[in-house]
Amino acid sequence: MNPFRLASDVRQAADNLRAQKTRTLLTALGIVFGVGSVIGMLSIGAGAREESLRMIEKLGVRNLLVESRSATSQEELQQRRRQSPGLTARDVRILEANIEDLEVLSPRRALHPAQVLPKPSQQMPELKGVRATYATIHSMQPVEGAFFNKADDDASAAVCVLGQTAKVNLLGYDPALGKFVKVNDTWLEVVGVVSEESNTVYIPLNTFQYRFWDRTSFMKDELDGVDLRLKSDARSVEVAKVVTSILNGTHHNVQDFTVTIPAALLAQQQQTQTIFTYVMVAIAAISLLVGGIGIMNIVLATVMERTREIGIRRATGARRVDIIRQFLTESVLISVGGGALGICFGFFLSWLIARAAEWKTIVTTSSVLIAFSVSVVVGIVFGIYPAMKAARIDPIEALRYE
């Protein structure tokens, strides 16, 4: 196409649209809201996907997590204990001896302390007793000091490592290394702070067992859980079946535990998120469809209003393709302008959702390109029929039209 002719068509179409500013703006609103909705919905999906992936990756794709299922009543607990001892240190020893693909594991226990000093500025932190291998399993990176070691665990040392949130909650933003926190009746020296954003005080498992007493322990198993890290070439689903089989044997098939596979969760989450994104985009695309119908209706009305102008142009030598190009250019300009405003609206909508609902949103380049491209396609598709109708008008009848 001749670039000069294209520039002339765009200039003429822009002049025609400016002559009907209000009508043009109202027509473009459907595209604005459609593009904005698509970007907003995709930003919600992208934010949710990143947050869920972050949580799953935090669990570790090479990990298996065995969780104890707490009894809901004393009667249920007594019925379980007739057959199963619950999750115990014996289970840990059996797993260590029988899982060939095991790299390291860590039993864990947790409690919510009755009092903590310094007094927390926010929610009371959780106390968690683990082995030194827990840091390796969950890829914890120290930002101060280091995670406690096996010697600390063997000696039941009164030391602790703070999650980043717990550190700020208890000790503020100053360096925490070497300071002390008192949990219930025990003073613990801070030997490290990890980058993990958790309100947790980590201590050696033996320290937990010998220095702390959980008032709700009569309703719980000896261990709250066991975290396993597998070798890099291990098949987590297959190993999970072996772990489940071993624990079913020691628990006499009492279902008082669960085995979670983060790698399987990751695959399932990705599949679910894809479906979720498709559904949201389909819903938002309805707005673009409505906007396209609006463009078609307005351009059809414009064709009727400008019938005499079409007749004059045909009489002075304009071809049908020129008439088609003229009205198609106008519809595309409406969709392009609406798409540009819709991008701005989409960013605002994403920000508003994040602010009002406290939901993480991420506007991606691909979502902007998809939404804008669809708006342009809508302008072309819904502009073709009115343009073709305008081109079919008989020039002689058009000149008689009043």
Q: Per residue in 318-355, pLDDT tens? A: 777 777 777 788 788 888 888 889 899 989 988 888 88
Same domain, 41 and 110: no
Looking at per-residue confidence, does 35 or 313 come out higher?
Answer: 35
How many domains is the chain partitioned into structurally?
A: 2
**Residue 133 has what pLDDT?**
94
Looking at per-residue confidence, does 47 or 268 come out higher?
Answer: 47
Same domain, 273 and 318: yes
Same domain, 47 and 188: no
Same domain, 233 and 93: yes
In the listed set 255, 277, 298, which residue is the last one of a domain according to the structure?
A: 255
In the listed set 202, 222, 255, which residue is the last one of a domain according to the structure?
A: 255
Q: Does 262 reside within a domain?
A: no
Q: Is the pLDDT of residue 300 over 80?
A: no
CA distance 66 to 250: 14
Q: What is the pLDDT of residues 187-225, one digit of tens each?
A: 999 999 998 888 999 999 999 999 998 776 667 888 999
Contact 359, 47 (CB under 8 A): yes
CA distance 205 to 222: 12
| Boundaries of domain holding 361 | 3-55+268-400
Q: Does 65 reside within a domain?
A: no
For the chain, the average pLDDT equals 82
Contact 401, 376 (CB under 8 A): no
Same domain, 47 and 74: no
Strand partners, 65: 227, 260
Contact 220, 70 (CB under 8 A): yes
Quickly state the pLDDT bin for 154 (edges 50, 70, 90): very high
Same domain, 42 and 99: no
Contact 160, 178 (CB under 8 A): no
Q: Does 261 reside within a domain?
A: no
Residues 6+ apart with CB under 8 A from 314: 323, 393, 395, 398
Quickly state the pLDDT bin for 76 (edges 50, 70, 90): confident
Same domain, 234 and 299: no
